[in-house]
Amino acid sequence: MTCEDLHKLLREFVGNELVVESRTTVEVHIAGCPHCGTLVQSYTHVVRIARALPKTRPLPAAFEARLRAMLEPELKDE
Amino acid sequence: MVEPPPEKLTPELVFREYAPRIYNIARRMLGNDADAEDVTQDVLLQVVRKLDTFRGDAQIATWLHRVTVNAALAHRQKRANRQKHENPESDDDLLGSGGSITPGKKWNVGPEETVLAAEQAGIIEKAIEQLPEPFRDVYVLADVEELPNTEIAEMLGLSLAAVKSRLHRARLRMRDLLAPHFEGKVTS
């Protein structure tokens, strides 16, 4: 496997989408190639940190107040 | 063990539970507060008026993702029309061919580190804002919202292959944007 081959499989490797044989080939390459090892490590971290971002944060207070005022008839209608 | 009965969907409950989620998706896709507020308002009005048609939380959550993404795309289109420089044909060229990958240095992060300090989260949000829109959409929906690629393809009107390709290139761009903050720096 060349570095270019690994680049083509990077997304699938990090997403755990490769069949065992391909996965093993990639792992063997990474073990002997510091550049690709670094690439896989940083790419994996890019995926992980996105997932660690908060999915919700409070609305800005002024906007929440405006939104509540606008939706008041609907919000009252329980 | 008996499951508690599901809480009845009321406009107030939807407001409390979903308005921040809608706002966050729109904010990340559109990159500014004013546009995100417009979209949140539009989507919330739609949902509270159709509330009787939903059977529960799972159904409404799926629907809200779809409606929020559609509203954000429509809002962006309106904005582009106003600014008269839409150029959808070149979307896939915005990050180049995707063929060049900079080697970079090892990132000093723990193997399982997932808790982000506020400062780190801010750096990541800024990097997301710098992604060209077509790539930002896919990155936000796939990696931040963790939606399946097939669902994203349907929402954005793309082929599955296009979603995967854009996601890969968006991640590589994020890696370049974040490298100065993570390379060779020890995080606690």
Minimal Cβ distance to B164: which of A11, A41, A64: A11
Minimal Cβ distance to B105: which of A38, A48, A78: A38
Inspect the interface and report whether the beta carbons of B21 and A55 lie closer than 8 Å: yes
d(CA B62, CA B7) in angstroms, rounded, equals 17
SS3 of B183, please?
strand
Inspect the interface and report whether the beta carbons of B21 and A56 lie closer than 8 Å: yes
Q: What is the pLDDT of residues B110-155, one digit of tens each?
A: 666 566 778 888 999 999 999 999 999 999 999 999 999 999 999 9
Q: Which CATH architecture has domain B11-83?
A: Orthogonal Bundle (1.10)
List chain A domain ranges: 3-76
Contact at 8 Å (CB) between B183 and B104?
yes
Q: Cβ–Cβ contacts within 10 Å for residue B136, how many? A: 22
Lowest-confidence range among A4-8, B6-10, B23-27? B6-10
List chain B domain ranges: 11-83, 100-182
Q: What is the pLDDT of residues B156-168, one digit of tens each?
A: 999 999 999 999 9
Gap between the terminal Cα atoms of chain A = 63
d(CA B6, CA B56) in angstroms, rounded, equals 8
- Find tokens 């490298």 and name the residue: B179
Tell which CATH classification among 1.10.10.10, 3.40.50.300, 2.60.40.10, 1.10.580.10 matches the domain B100-182. 1.10.10.10
Residue spans of alpha helices (H) in chain B: 11-30, 33-49, 57-83, 118-130, 133-139, 149-156, 160-182
